[in-house]
Amino acid sequence: MLDTHARKYVQPFIEKGADRLLKKGLTANQVTVFSFIIGVSAGPLVYVGQPLAAVILLWLSGYLDAVDGSMARKTKTSPFGTVMDVTFDRIVEISVILGVAFLYPHILWAALLLMASIVISMTIFLTVGNVSENNGVKSFRYQAGLAERTEGFIFLTVMMLFPSILLWSTLAFLAVELFTAGQRFLEAKRILS
């Protein structure tokens, strides 16, 4: 929801980052890989008791993830770049969820359900993107929903920084993901029927 409705407010900051990195000679795919390396390190950091560092790297990774898309649109988008971007995003999320779950094994069952809900929601998202007409600036149809990447980062941040409410924040994230999956499924029925 925030990615869809609030992007216009942060887009100038993203565009400046894209312009700077392009001037330095970097490609969108290089930034995607760099963003992935930074983001995937958040999981191990939270596991070893460095949650603040993990949160900072997670959000830096998210910023670079937005920048790489702007870079691609300013130069030449690449189908493989899209595959890398979407795949690496999920691996970063999995890294954080696993880092938290391994540190606090009493919530492992909730973390597994959360990951299952992300798989379901992303399956609908990617399938609809594949079988429907593109309606925007991204390289495939983007289905908005209650839980987009920013909401996920907010939940992951709460999970990392506030272990006293970890079970409840994980279950809340699960509920929001399932709601989003339902939104996307109903939208798919509407646009594909």
Q: What's the CA gap between 187 and 193, in Å, rounded? A: 10
Q: Would you say 11 and 19 are in contact if contact means Cβ atoms under 8 Å apart?
A: no
Interval 25-59: pLDDT, tens: 999 999 999 999 999 999 999 999 999 999 999 99
Closest CA to 68 of 85, 93, 87: 85
Closest CA to 84 of 35, 117, 142, 147: 35
Q: Would you say 83 and 71 are in contact if contact means Cβ atoms under 8 Å apart?
A: no
- Catalogue all structural domains in the chain, each as residue range(s) with its CATH number: 2-192 (1.20.120.1760)
Q: What's the CA gap between 110 and 28, in Å, rounded? A: 35
pLDDT at 2 over 80: no
Q: What's the CA gap between 47 and 100, in Å, rounded? A: 6
Q: Would you say 39 and 92 are in contact if contact means Cβ atoms under 8 Å apart?
A: yes
Q: What percent of the chain has pLDDT over 90?
A: 75
pLDDT at 132 over 80: no
Q: What's the CA gap between 42 and 34, in Å, rounded? A: 13
In this prediction, residue 136 carries a pLDDT of 57
Which residue is associated with the tokens 């969820």? 97
pLDDT at 162 over 70: yes
- Between 23 and 190, where is the model more confident? 23
Three-state DSSP state, 24: coil
In this prediction, residue 129 carries a pLDDT of 83
Q: What's the CA gap between 62 and 68, in Å, rounded? A: 10
